[in-house]
Amino acid sequence: MPNGVLTSPNITADIETGIGKMGREDFIKRFKGYDPAAYNAPKLGRKDMPTIMPWTMYAGMESKDLTAIYTYLHSLPAKKNVVVKWKPLQ
């Protein structure tokens, strides 16, 4: 980013700083909610930051494939890592 650094969220299974509280169905629902056939992108304000996750690319995946991703992510060690989403250049 030309004016700063945009950092991806923690997707480890850490309960406090990652996706550890997200159940499998919620994980799948999150991706399916970005199906291009039904998704209407919200208007972003001047200070809003869009996500860098390519949600629509994953939205068409079958639930069994998204379940496999969920299962894989939860098989990895959870890492406590508070992420600052946006850091402007100094």
The span from the CA of 13 to the CA of 74, in Å, is: 5
Contact by Cβ (8 Å): 78, 10: no
The span from the CA of 24 to the CA of 43, in Å, is: 28
The span from the CA of 85 to the CA of 1, in Å, is: 12
Residue 1 has pLDDT above 60, yes or no: no
Per domain, the residue ranges of the chain are: 23-38+53-76
For residue 90, what pLDDT band results from cuts at 50, 70 and 90?
A: confident
Higher pLDDT, 35 or 79: 79
